[in-house]
Structure 1
Amino acid sequence: MTDKIYNVLFLCTGNSARSIIAEALLNRAGKGRFRAYSAGSQPKGEVHPYTLDLLRSLNYDISDARSKSWVEFSADGAPQMDFVFTVCDSAAAESCPIWPGHPITAHWGVPDPAAAEGSESEKRLAFADAHRMLGNRVNAFVSLPLASLDRLTTEGRVREIGRSLSEAG
Protein backbone atom coordinates (compact mmCIF):
# COMPACT_ATOMS: atom_id res chain seq x y z
CA MET A 1 0.00 0.00 0.00
CA THR A 2 2.94 2.37 0.55
CA ASP A 3 3.64 2.38 -3.21
CA LYS A 4 0.21 3.82 -4.01
CA ILE A 5 0.18 7.11 -5.88
CA TYR A 6 -2.74 9.24 -4.72
CA ASN A 7 -4.61 11.38 -7.27
CA VAL A 8 -5.68 14.76 -5.89
CA LEU A 9 -7.90 17.33 -7.61
CA PHE A 10 -7.91 20.97 -6.49
CA LEU A 11 -11.07 22.83 -7.45
CA CYS A 12 -11.81 26.50 -7.72
CA THR A 13 -14.26 28.51 -9.76
CA GLY A 14 -11.91 30.06 -12.34
CA ASN A 15 -8.92 27.67 -12.22
CA SER A 16 -6.52 30.52 -12.84
CA ALA A 17 -4.71 31.02 -9.52
CA ARG A 18 -5.34 29.11 -6.26
CA SER A 19 -6.05 25.67 -7.69
CA ILE A 20 -3.13 25.98 -10.14
CA ILE A 21 -0.82 26.98 -7.27
CA ALA A 22 -2.04 24.06 -5.12
CA GLU A 23 -1.50 21.64 -8.00
CA ALA A 24 2.10 22.83 -8.44
CA LEU A 25 2.77 22.70 -4.70
CA LEU A 26 1.52 19.14 -4.26
CA ASN A 27 3.24 17.84 -7.37
CA ARG A 28 6.53 19.10 -5.92
CA ALA A 29 6.01 18.34 -2.22
CA GLY A 30 4.39 14.97 -2.91
CA LYS A 31 7.67 13.61 -4.28
CA GLY A 32 5.95 11.08 -6.52
CA ARG A 33 3.49 9.86 -3.85
CA PHE A 34 0.82 12.19 -5.22
CA ARG A 35 -0.33 13.31 -8.65
CA ALA A 36 -2.11 16.64 -8.40
CA TYR A 37 -4.55 18.16 -10.87
CA SER A 38 -6.61 21.32 -10.89
CA ALA A 39 -9.85 22.43 -12.48
CA GLY A 40 -12.62 24.99 -12.24
CA SER A 41 -16.39 25.01 -12.32
CA GLN A 42 -16.27 28.05 -14.62
CA PRO A 43 -12.68 28.12 -15.88
CA LYS A 44 -11.26 31.42 -17.07
CA GLY A 45 -9.56 29.68 -19.98
CA GLU A 46 -6.14 31.03 -19.06
CA VAL A 47 -3.88 30.96 -16.04
CA HIS A 48 -3.48 34.35 -14.36
CA PRO A 49 -0.14 35.89 -15.41
CA TYR A 50 0.82 36.57 -11.77
CA THR A 51 0.29 32.88 -10.99
CA LEU A 52 2.67 31.93 -13.78
CA ASP A 53 5.19 34.60 -12.73
CA LEU A 54 5.15 33.39 -9.11
CA LEU A 55 5.51 29.72 -9.96
CA ARG A 56 8.20 30.40 -12.53
CA SER A 57 10.17 32.51 -10.00
CA LEU A 58 10.03 29.58 -7.55
CA ASN A 59 11.25 27.11 -10.18
CA TYR A 60 8.04 25.13 -10.53
CA ASP A 61 7.40 23.22 -13.73
CA ILE A 62 4.54 25.16 -15.34
CA SER A 63 4.65 23.44 -18.72
CA ASP A 64 1.29 21.72 -18.07
CA ALA A 65 -0.40 24.69 -16.34
CA ARG A 66 -3.71 25.46 -18.01
CA SER A 67 -7.18 26.55 -16.97
CA LYS A 68 -9.66 23.70 -17.47
CA SER A 69 -13.13 22.57 -16.50
CA TRP A 70 -13.86 20.03 -13.81
CA VAL A 71 -15.94 18.19 -16.43
CA GLU A 72 -12.61 16.93 -17.79
CA PHE A 73 -12.12 14.97 -14.55
CA SER A 74 -15.62 13.54 -14.32
CA ALA A 75 -15.57 12.13 -17.87
CA ASP A 76 -14.92 8.52 -18.83
CA GLY A 77 -11.22 7.76 -18.94
CA ALA A 78 -10.26 10.51 -16.47
CA PRO A 79 -7.93 9.58 -13.61
CA GLN A 80 -9.86 8.37 -10.57
CA MET A 81 -9.39 10.82 -7.71
CA ASP A 82 -8.54 9.79 -4.18
CA PHE A 83 -9.00 13.33 -2.83
CA VAL A 84 -10.87 16.43 -4.04
CA PHE A 85 -10.15 19.74 -2.29
CA THR A 86 -11.96 23.01 -2.94
CA VAL A 87 -9.74 26.05 -2.45
CA CYS A 88 -12.34 28.80 -2.90
CA ASP A 89 -15.61 29.39 -1.11
CA SER A 90 -17.75 29.68 -4.23
CA ALA A 91 -16.59 26.30 -5.58
CA ALA A 92 -17.23 24.73 -2.18
CA ALA A 93 -20.84 25.91 -2.32
CA GLU A 94 -21.47 24.59 -5.84
CA SER A 95 -22.90 21.21 -6.72
CA CYS A 96 -19.89 19.18 -7.75
CA PRO A 97 -20.01 16.29 -10.17
CA ILE A 98 -20.26 12.80 -8.73
CA TRP A 99 -16.66 11.64 -8.68
CA PRO A 100 -16.02 7.99 -9.52
CA GLY A 101 -14.62 6.08 -6.56
CA HIS A 102 -16.06 8.51 -3.99
CA PRO A 103 -12.88 10.44 -3.17
CA ILE A 104 -12.33 12.05 0.21
CA THR A 105 -13.27 15.73 0.04
CA ALA A 106 -12.37 18.79 2.08
CA HIS A 107 -12.54 22.56 1.83
CA TRP A 108 -9.23 24.43 2.06
CA GLY A 109 -10.45 27.95 1.31
CA VAL A 110 -7.93 30.69 0.57
CA PRO A 111 -8.65 34.32 -0.39
CA ASP A 112 -8.63 34.90 -4.14
CA PRO A 113 -5.38 36.65 -5.09
CA ALA A 114 -6.82 37.52 -8.50
CA ALA A 115 -9.38 39.72 -6.72
CA ALA A 116 -6.72 41.65 -4.79
CA GLU A 117 -6.74 45.41 -5.20
CA GLY A 118 -3.98 47.96 -4.82
CA SER A 119 -0.60 48.46 -6.40
CA GLU A 120 1.08 45.83 -8.53
CA SER A 121 3.32 44.84 -5.60
CA GLU A 122 0.26 44.47 -3.32
CA LYS A 123 -1.44 42.27 -5.90
CA ARG A 124 1.66 40.13 -6.30
CA LEU A 125 1.88 39.85 -2.51
CA ALA A 126 -1.65 38.40 -2.51
CA PHE A 127 -0.42 35.63 -4.84
CA ALA A 128 2.57 34.97 -2.58
CA ASP A 129 0.22 34.82 0.43
CA ALA A 130 -2.02 32.31 -1.35
CA HIS A 131 1.07 30.22 -2.16
CA ARG A 132 2.17 30.33 1.50
CA MET A 133 -1.28 29.38 2.86
CA LEU A 134 -1.73 26.55 0.38
CA GLY A 135 1.84 25.43 1.00
CA ASN A 136 1.10 25.07 4.73
CA ARG A 137 -1.90 22.86 3.93
CA VAL A 138 -0.08 20.79 1.34
CA ASN A 139 2.86 20.21 3.70
CA ALA A 140 0.49 19.08 6.46
CA PHE A 141 -1.29 16.80 3.98
CA VAL A 142 1.84 15.10 2.60
CA SER A 143 3.02 14.35 6.13
CA LEU A 144 -0.12 12.33 6.94
CA PRO A 145 0.57 8.58 7.18
CA LEU A 146 -2.18 7.81 4.64
CA ALA A 147 -1.30 4.15 4.20
CA SER A 148 -1.92 3.50 7.91
CA LEU A 149 -5.09 5.59 8.36
CA ASP A 150 -8.63 4.37 7.82
CA ARG A 151 -10.99 6.40 5.61
CA LEU A 152 -12.85 8.08 8.47
CA THR A 153 -9.66 9.20 10.18
CA THR A 154 -8.23 10.45 6.88
CA GLU A 155 -11.42 12.43 6.17
CA GLY A 156 -11.20 14.05 9.58
CA ARG A 157 -7.53 14.90 9.20
CA VAL A 158 -7.80 16.52 5.75
CA ARG A 159 -10.84 18.55 6.85
CA GLU A 160 -9.01 19.66 9.97
CA ILE A 161 -6.09 20.83 7.80
CA GLY A 162 -8.47 23.23 6.08
CA ARG A 163 -9.99 24.44 9.36
CA SER A 164 -6.90 24.68 11.53
CA LEU A 165 -4.77 26.42 8.96
CA SER A 166 -7.46 28.82 7.73
CA GLU A 167 -6.66 31.49 10.32
CA ALA A 168 -2.96 30.80 10.77
CA GLY A 169 -2.43 30.55 7.00
Structure 2
Amino acid sequence: MRLTAIAAAVTLVAGVAHAESHSGAVAPEDVQYGETGAVATSLSGMPGDAANGQVVFSTKSMGNCVSCHAVAQLTDVPFQGEVGPELTWSGESRSEEELRGIVANAKMSFDGTVMPAFYKTNGYIRPGNGYTGKAAEGDLPPILTAQQVEDVVAFLLTLKEQ
Protein backbone atom coordinates (compact mmCIF):
# COMPACT_ATOMS: atom_id res chain seq x y z
CA MET A 1 0.00 0.00 0.00
CA ARG A 2 2.80 2.38 0.92
CA LEU A 3 4.61 1.62 -2.35
CA THR A 4 1.42 2.42 -4.26
CA ALA A 5 1.12 5.78 -2.48
CA ILE A 6 4.74 6.61 -3.30
CA ALA A 7 4.25 5.63 -6.95
CA ALA A 8 1.12 7.78 -7.12
CA ALA A 9 2.97 10.73 -5.61
CA VAL A 10 5.83 10.37 -8.10
CA THR A 11 3.34 10.17 -10.97
CA LEU A 12 1.54 13.28 -9.72
CA VAL A 13 4.79 15.24 -9.40
CA ALA A 14 5.89 14.12 -12.87
CA GLY A 15 2.52 15.19 -14.29
CA VAL A 16 2.77 18.61 -12.65
CA ALA A 17 6.33 19.04 -13.95
CA HIS A 18 5.17 18.05 -17.43
CA ALA A 19 2.29 20.54 -17.30
CA GLU A 20 4.58 23.30 -16.03
CA SER A 21 7.04 22.68 -18.86
CA HIS A 22 4.25 23.32 -21.36
CA SER A 23 3.10 26.44 -19.54
CA GLY A 24 6.50 27.98 -20.34
CA ALA A 25 5.39 28.62 -23.90
CA VAL A 26 6.03 32.05 -25.37
CA ALA A 27 2.71 33.85 -25.85
CA PRO A 28 2.01 34.80 -29.48
CA GLU A 29 2.26 38.51 -28.69
CA ASP A 30 5.66 37.99 -27.01
CA VAL A 31 7.44 36.23 -29.89
CA GLN A 32 10.71 38.00 -30.70
CA TYR A 33 11.33 38.17 -34.46
CA GLY A 34 14.76 38.98 -35.81
CA GLU A 35 15.48 41.47 -38.57
CA THR A 36 14.62 38.91 -41.27
CA GLY A 37 11.74 37.33 -39.34
CA ALA A 38 13.68 34.46 -37.76
CA VAL A 39 12.79 33.35 -34.23
CA ALA A 40 15.85 32.22 -32.29
CA THR A 41 14.31 30.25 -29.44
CA SER A 42 11.70 27.53 -29.12
CA LEU A 43 8.17 28.83 -28.69
CA SER A 44 7.21 25.96 -26.40
CA GLY A 45 10.49 25.41 -24.59
CA MET A 46 10.33 21.81 -25.79
CA PRO A 47 11.92 20.11 -28.81
CA GLY A 48 9.70 19.53 -31.80
CA ASP A 49 8.38 16.08 -32.75
CA ALA A 50 8.87 15.59 -36.51
CA ALA A 51 6.30 12.77 -36.72
CA ASN A 52 3.62 14.94 -35.12
CA GLY A 53 4.74 17.86 -37.29
CA GLN A 54 4.07 15.79 -40.40
CA VAL A 55 0.54 15.11 -39.13
CA VAL A 56 -0.07 18.81 -38.42
CA PHE A 57 1.43 19.75 -41.81
CA SER A 58 -0.77 17.37 -43.78
CA THR A 59 -4.06 17.43 -41.83
CA LYS A 60 -6.75 19.79 -43.09
CA SER A 61 -8.20 20.47 -39.64
CA MET A 62 -4.77 21.41 -38.27
CA GLY A 63 -2.03 23.25 -40.18
CA ASN A 64 -3.20 22.19 -43.63
CA CYS A 65 0.16 23.34 -45.02
CA VAL A 66 -0.08 20.75 -47.79
CA SER A 67 -2.96 22.68 -49.36
CA CYS A 68 -0.45 25.29 -50.53
CA HIS A 69 2.92 23.47 -50.42
CA ALA A 70 4.10 20.30 -52.14
CA VAL A 71 6.50 17.88 -50.45
CA ALA A 72 7.83 14.99 -52.55
CA GLN A 73 8.39 12.84 -49.46
CA LEU A 74 4.64 12.84 -48.68
CA THR A 75 3.74 10.28 -51.36
CA ASP A 76 0.60 9.18 -49.49
CA VAL A 77 -0.87 12.71 -49.33
CA PRO A 78 -2.92 13.51 -52.46
CA PHE A 79 -3.70 16.91 -53.91
CA GLN A 80 -0.68 18.84 -52.71
CA GLY A 81 -0.68 22.55 -53.34
CA GLU A 82 1.07 24.73 -55.86
CA VAL A 83 0.38 28.17 -54.36
CA GLY A 84 3.39 28.27 -52.04
CA PRO A 85 6.94 27.13 -52.71
CA GLU A 86 7.74 23.43 -52.78
CA LEU A 87 9.20 22.39 -49.42
CA THR A 88 10.88 19.13 -50.44
CA TRP A 89 14.32 20.52 -49.50
CA SER A 90 13.37 22.96 -46.73
CA GLY A 91 15.68 21.20 -44.27
CA GLU A 92 18.63 22.05 -46.50
CA SER A 93 17.64 25.56 -47.52
CA ARG A 94 16.40 27.08 -44.25
CA SER A 95 17.61 27.12 -40.66
CA GLU A 96 15.48 26.09 -37.70
CA GLU A 97 15.20 29.74 -36.66
CA GLU A 98 14.07 30.85 -40.13
CA LEU A 99 11.49 28.06 -40.37
CA ARG A 100 10.15 28.84 -36.89
CA GLY A 101 9.63 32.49 -37.85
CA ILE A 102 8.00 31.60 -41.16
CA VAL A 103 5.56 29.13 -39.60
CA ALA A 104 4.73 31.45 -36.68
CA ASN A 105 4.15 34.52 -38.87
CA ALA A 106 5.47 34.48 -42.44
CA LYS A 107 4.63 38.16 -42.88
CA MET A 108 7.60 38.98 -40.66
CA SER A 109 9.87 37.33 -43.26
CA PHE A 110 8.00 37.96 -46.50
CA ASP A 111 6.07 41.21 -46.74
CA GLY A 112 2.83 40.73 -48.65
CA THR A 113 2.76 36.92 -48.46
CA VAL A 114 -0.62 35.22 -48.47
CA MET A 115 0.60 32.56 -46.03
CA PRO A 116 -1.39 32.77 -42.80
CA ALA A 117 0.26 33.51 -39.48
CA PHE A 118 -0.09 30.26 -37.55
CA TYR A 119 0.95 31.69 -34.17
CA LYS A 120 -0.71 35.07 -33.91
CA THR A 121 -3.76 36.28 -31.97
CA ASN A 122 -4.28 39.93 -32.83
CA GLY A 123 -3.82 42.53 -35.54
CA TYR A 124 -6.09 40.77 -38.02
CA ILE A 125 -8.15 42.90 -40.35
CA ARG A 126 -10.27 40.27 -42.11
CA PRO A 127 -11.48 37.47 -39.82
CA GLY A 128 -15.02 38.14 -38.75
CA ASN A 129 -17.18 37.04 -35.89
CA GLY A 130 -18.48 33.63 -36.99
CA TYR A 131 -19.89 34.47 -40.44
CA THR A 132 -21.82 37.50 -39.16
CA GLY A 133 -19.97 40.01 -41.31
CA LYS A 134 -18.87 41.84 -38.16
CA ALA A 135 -15.35 42.20 -36.85
CA ALA A 136 -14.20 39.65 -34.31
CA GLU A 137 -14.53 40.73 -30.71
CA GLY A 138 -11.18 40.43 -28.94
CA ASP A 139 -8.19 38.35 -29.89
CA LEU A 140 -8.52 35.21 -31.97
CA PRO A 141 -6.86 31.99 -30.85
CA PRO A 142 -3.70 31.03 -32.75
CA ILE A 143 -4.19 28.45 -35.51
CA LEU A 144 -1.43 26.26 -34.03
CA THR A 145 -0.13 25.89 -30.49
CA ALA A 146 3.48 26.72 -29.68
CA GLN A 147 4.29 23.00 -29.59
CA GLN A 148 2.60 22.37 -32.94
CA VAL A 149 4.75 25.13 -34.47
CA GLU A 150 7.84 23.41 -33.04
CA ASP A 151 6.63 20.07 -34.39
CA VAL A 152 6.10 21.45 -37.91
CA VAL A 153 9.56 23.04 -37.80
CA ALA A 154 11.07 19.69 -36.74
CA PHE A 155 9.29 17.99 -39.66
CA LEU A 156 10.45 20.62 -42.17
CA LEU A 157 14.04 20.18 -40.97
CA THR A 158 13.86 16.49 -41.94
CA LEU A 159 13.07 17.35 -45.56
CA LYS A 160 16.33 16.91 -47.43
CA GLU A 161 17.49 15.45 -50.72
CA GLN A 162 17.27 11.69 -50.46
> Shared topology, TM-score over 0.5?
no
Q: Structure 1 or 2: larger helix share?
A: 1
TM-score (norm 1): 0.27
Larger Rg: 2
TM-score (norm 2): 0.27
Q: RCO higher in 1 or 2 (8 Å CA, sep ≥ 6)?
A: 2
Q: Structure 1 or 2: larger strand share?
A: 1
